[in-house]
């Protein structure tokens, strides 16, 4: 009985593993065309590392928006990171969010008129149990 139940549950897990690995391989090819990561040089000389393909996809429909690129530590679990999305969705001027678990990055798109307070972002991430290590604000072209 228990072996049957586990066989039923484990099979889709490994089938999905194979599907994800295949996807990773496809992404890997795409990364080569972007040299792996996009290094964005800011006016103040700071440099932030981003997954180029992911960032491009995120800002594709966000022309003129402010993009907060947040580096987060302790963001190891999708289920735990859900709270981050729920918290920021309530913000005025909020447009879109992306959570990159692999690189510990959260991308937030806000309306151009929104006054972004870094301390407020830090506090919201902390209230969900993770720690902010860096925040950079960009403007999507």
Partner 1 sequence: MAFSDEMRDAAYYHYSPSYKYSLGIELVDEKKAMKNHTNFRYTYLLNRKNTQNSQRNLYFQSSLSVGGNDEYSYGFLGDWETRRYFIGFGAQELKSNLRNYDKQYVQIGFAPYLGDYGNLHSWLMIKSKHDSRTNKWNTYPVIKFFKGDYLLEFGVDENDELDIHFMIRF
Q: How many residues does the chain have?
A: 141
> What is the rounded CA–CA span in Å between residue 115 and residue 118?
10
> What is the rounded CA–CA span in Å between residue 53 and residue 56?
5
Nearer to partner 1, 5 or 60 (CB): 5
> What is the rounded CA–CA span in Å between residue 111 and residue 94?
7
Name the minimum Å distance from CB 34 to partner 1. Answer: 17
Kindly identify the residues of this chain, within the stretch 100-129, that bind partner 1 according to CB under 8 A: 100-102, 104, 126-129
Alpha helices in the chain (DSSP H): 2-33, 52-59, 78-89, 118-127
Q: Which listed range, 39-47, 61-69, 79-87, 113-121, lies at the site for partner 1 (CB under 8 A)?
A: 79-87
Residues interacting with partner 1, by CB under 8 A? 1-2, 5-6, 9-10, 13-14, 16-17, 20-21, 73-74, 76-83, 86, 98-102, 104, 126-131, 133
């Amino acid at each position: 009985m228990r072996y049957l139940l586990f066989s039923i549950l484990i099979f889709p897990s490994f089938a999905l593993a194979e599907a994800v690995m295949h996807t990773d391989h496809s992404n890997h090819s795409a990364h080569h065309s972007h040299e792996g990561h996009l290094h964005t040089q800011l006016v103040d000389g700071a440099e932030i590392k981003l997954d180029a393909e992911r960032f491009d996809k995120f800002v594709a429909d966000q022309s003129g928006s402010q993009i907060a690129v947040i580096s987060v530590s302790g963001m190891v679990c999708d289920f735990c990171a859900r709270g981050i999305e729920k918290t920021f969705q309530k913000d005025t001027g909020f447009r879109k969010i992306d959570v990159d678990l692999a690189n510990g990055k959260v991308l937030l798109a806000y309306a151009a008129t929104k006054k972004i307070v870094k301390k407020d972002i830090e506090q919201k991430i902390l209230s969900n149990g993770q720690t902010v290590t860096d925040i950079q604000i960009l403007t999507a072209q």
